[in-house]
Structure 1
Amino acid sequence: MPSFDIVSKLKKDEVLNAVDNANRELQTRYDFRGVEASFNFDKASNEVKLEASEEFQIQQMDDILRQKLIKRNIEATAAEFKEITRSGKKSIQVVSFKEGIDKELAKKIIKIIKDSKIKVDAKINDDIIRVTGKKRDDLQAVIALVRSSKIEQPLQYENFRD
C-alpha cells in the first residue's frame, strides 16, 4: 500500500553556514566597524543569538540573517524571531528554529486531510505523520493539499513508497 511521511526537519548544517556567512558580512560592513556584534548558533537548542550594542544594529543584523537563511534555502517560517532585550550594555535577540511536528499542528494537518474527503489514512507517530492510501494519485493530491494550506511551519514529504 503506497505511503509517505510528513515531517518537519531543520538542516542544522545549513543554519550554521548561514550564521557563519552572516558573521563574515558583519566583519566587512562599514556600519559595524568597531562594534562588538555577533551571531552565535547553539545546535542543541536550535537557537541563534544576536548580540550588539544598540537595538537598531540588532534590527540590521536581523535582516542580514534573514537574507543568509533564504540563500541557504531555509524557509522564513522555520525561524521565530523573539523580542529584543537589553542586558547591561548589550541588546540581545534570540531566534529559535522550529523542528518536528507538535501534536496541535499534527491534529490540524490531519483535520485538513480528513475534511478534503480524499480516501487516505493519516496517523501520528511522535513528530511524523504517516499517510497511507490505495492510490498513488490520492497521496499526491494530499501533498498538494497540505502544501496549499497555510501552515506556519515548513514541511517535508519523505519515504514515498508504492
Structure 2
Amino acid sequence: MKRWYLLYCKRGEQTRAKMHLENQGLACYYPEISVEKIVRGKRQSVKEPLFPSYVFVKFDYEQGPSFTTVRSTRGVVDFIRFGSHPKEVNGDLIFDLQSIEQCQDVADCAELPDKGESVRVTGGQFAGIEAIFHEADGEARSIMLVNLINKQIPVSIDNKDLDI
C-alpha cells in the first residue's frame, strides 16, 4: 500500500530531487504558495516553497523502491524520522494542502504608481483618503504622503490597501 513520507532535501535542490524521484515513478508533492513581491518597482506574484527544503513522496516500500534507494536520490538528504523508521504522513494532510494550493487567488501583476501620482487609500486607518505616492517601502508596502493639518506627512501603507 502506497504511503506518504516527508523528505528533507539539500538547500535549494527540492525541484531537482522532485524531478529525480518522479523519474523513478514516485508520486511527489512540493507545495508552493504565491507571494506578492515588488521586483524592480513592479508588484509581481512569485511562487515560493511553502516548506523550503521539504518534499512529500508517495510510494510502497514493500514493492519498491526501498527507503535506501529513495534516500540516495540526488538532492535528497534523508527521510523525516521518529526513531529508526521514516514517519508516515497522513494522506488527508496532503489532500488539504493540495486543495488550499488550488484555491489560492493569484493576483495580476500590477505596477506601482509613479512618484507624485495621487492614489486613493481603500483600507487601514487612512481609508478613504487621497494620498500621493512617494516611493516603495520594501516588498509589500509603500511610502505615501498624506495631508494632515496642511502638511504632507510620509506614512507607510500596505500595498493591498491602495487603489492602484
For normalisation by structure 1, the TM-score amounts to 0.25
Higher helix share: 1
Higher strand share: 2
Who wins on radius of gyration, i.e. which is larger?
A: 2
